[in-house]
Chains A and B, each alone.
With several copies, the nearest count.
Chain A
């Protein structure tokens, strides 16, 4: 299986996905994995991600396939949370397997940049009991435009 995409509404352990994903690709040279977690800094009590199902999943699958084609991957795994998350909970896990390190590294970097700028996720943070929407940051677009 070249691409594996999961949208989850419950907490997950990255290793439970990365382990079997890696095992499913014998002969690989390298695996690069990035896991992003909810930061608890600045008094953030919770983070909520909402999304529009009819766009999110097809968009993530298309991004995964683009990464495989562009970097010649053996496979890519994308796991993304939605719903309410607490500090320390993983939000996103991207893992790429390839024959060589550079391809695996660049693919994860590429996928993370595009997930952040192109994905249909809306975020809000809870601080002091109050929810507040998070606006786009210009540097997300700059990161995407590197590619």
Chain B
């Protein structure tokens, strides 16, 4: 299994801070999520970190077993 991690209000939308998913191409992983969540995760302002490292975009990501993919919405001001 792999893990998706949701930060900020994405955690509210997902109903949890993280979610175990089957490994595979990200497009296939997201297709199994509720559509409103998948759309929110693909918002261009949402940054993505794969195993703790920021990556460019979601297009080419293929999740392998044990991977952790974090979705980081814009951080709060303050």
Contacts and interface: CB of A to CB of B under 8 A. Distances in A.
A119 B40 CA distance: 21
B78 A120 contact: no
Contacts, number: 59
Contacts of B75: 117, 119-122, 136
A136 B77 contact: yes
Interface string A108-147: 0000000011011111100000000111110110000000
A123 B5 contact: no
Interface stretch (A9-17, A20-28, A49-57, A66-74): A49-57
Nearest to A47: B78
Nearest to A55: B49
Interface in B55-78: 68, 70, 72-78
13 contacts: A50-B11, A54-B51, A54-B68, A55-B52, A58-B52, A116-B77, A116-B78, A117-B77, A121-B75, A122-B7, A133-B8, A133-B12, A134-B76
Interface of A: 36, 50-52, 54-55, 58, 116-117, 119-124, 133-137, 139-140
B19 interface: no
Interface residues of B, number: 19
Nearest to A29: B78
Contacts of B73: 122
Contacts of A55: 49, 52, 54, 70, 72
Contact of B78 (A51, A54, A58, A137): A137
B78 to A, nearest CB: 5
A52 B72 contact: yes
Nearest to A30: B78
A120 B48 CA distance: 12
A123 B9 contact: no
A12 B9 CA distance: 27
Contacts of A119: 75
B70 A133 contact: no
A133 B5 CA distance: 18
